[in-house]
Amino acid sequence: MAADSRLPAVDIQTVLNLEDWDHVSFWSSYSNFFKEQGYTLFNLKTTSWGMFPFKQHIMYAQDERKRDIVIKLVQTDSVEHRIHQCLMSYTEFNHSESFPFITPTLEILPSPHNFLFVIMQRWGAAPRVPDFWNVCELLSFIVNILQDIDFGNILINQFTHDSTCGIWDLEARAHLRTEGQACYCLFDFDLSQIFLLDTPITECRLPITSVKERGAPWLHPNEVNGAEQDLDPFKFDVACMGNMLSNYDILMWTNDLQCMIPVLPLLAPLLDRMTTDDVANHFTAFQALSFCQFIQNSLTPMELDKQLPPWPRSLDIDTQCGVWELLPMNFIIKWSIRGQGWVQLEAGDIYEELRNADNEADMTKLCGETRLENAEATFYQHRAWALNTHGSR
């Protein structure tokens, strides 16, 4: 589509800096343009509260097939623009079998100015609502989100059009989770970076200045404040994700830690390996994801269906415990970093079995035959097998 010079002239920074509801006039001035492209904008309210309407550079609409979509204002020729172009080029991402848990980009509409409009499928915000019911729901959520560092950048495949704070349907979401149909995905690439496709992941580096005080600084690992001039961006993301899971209203903050860790002890070594300052023992994203998937495979249906304790509503920050403090000492000794359990596993019999597994189905079967007491052991060998097959990521 050729850019339409009749569109109102405005700089993208002007739109992003609009206060309160001044952005209503901007989006309204483009309503006919979107109508011509087959998109009908929702009516913007000049007064509201809660989480909807959202930010100035986001708008909601329906296409000609009455499907709900999101329109995002993006700077032309930016990294985010290039990322959306790449996502559009991979048509296989639209299939459920190869869906990468990223909001699908449907179309990019140019303008004659220094911005364009990215059209995406609409998903729902606040993915943690309602509370997770059992171990299976919690693990499914963690597996889906082990690719981002902020709950605000994660969506769920359910939403309503309620314009107040109730933008989710608690019963609908609970039903999706019970049926194993709840799905979570990532969006928002305005702080993302692109590396050349043939660059080995282990060689990718970013200067400290590119991440310091950006995104969610309260989740940044200690290395950001260290003396190093650059960092591994992928391990940085893993550390931020680990800190998020450790400190947010989902797993480990304050008294919740006392509820979740005893129910699912394997979360302790997962979070420990994600957040450690010991670079040699720090999980990569692929290792963390593989560990979490193995935890799923190692549990019986009864263990997966075990109900999670309710979130404590009255919290005392002074009573917060670390990830290991409520676990038996023999478990801590065995599975803390450099623990004897990890060392023994490197030479265990399961190692050879998993390395020689012909495919992932065989590997999963072997994992399923191992009980909880040595689940991390099997995972460690699973990881070695997976890295030999797919490479470290």
- Decide if pLDDT at 239 tops 50: yes
pLDDT score at 379 = 35
pLDDT band of residue 107 (cuts 50, 70, 90) is confident
What is the torsional sign of CA 217, 219, 220, 222?
A: positive
Which has more confidence, 270 or 99?
A: 270
Secondary structure class of 117 (helix, strand, coil): strand
- What is the value of pTM for the model shown? 0.58
Cα gap 105→116, rounded to integer Å: 13
pLDDT score at 314 = 46
Which has more confidence, 153 or 77?
A: 77
What is the torsional sign of CA 364, 370, 375, 380?
A: negative
- Which CATH superfamily does the domain covering 12-121 fall into? Phosphorylase Kinase; domain 1 (3.30.200.20)
Residue indicated by tokens 């097959």? 389
Cα gap 10→30, rounded to integer Å: 12
Average pLDDT, the chain: 66
CA nearest neighbour of 366 among 374, 232, 137: 374
Find the angle CA(51)-CA(100)-CA(41) to the nearest 5 degrees.
40
pLDDT score at 380 = 35
Which of 170-179, 261-270, 382-391 is predicted with the least confidence, judged by mean pLDDT? 382-391
pLDDT score at 138 = 79
CA nearest neighbour of 262 among 216, 306, 201, 316: 306
Give the type of residue at 365.
K
What is the torsional sign of CA 151, 153, 155, 159?
A: positive
Which of 42-56, 306-320, 367-381 is predicted with the least confidence, judged by mean pLDDT? 367-381
| Size of the chain, expressed as the number of residues it contains | 393
Q: How many CA atoms lie within 13 A of 307 on its CB side?
A: 3
Secondary structure class of 257 (helix, strand, coil): helix
Q: Are 104 and 83 in contact (CB under 8 A)?
A: no
Cα gap 142→293, rounded to integer Å: 9
Which regions of the chain carry the CATH code 3.30.200.20?
12-121
- Decide if pLDDT at 13 tops 70: no
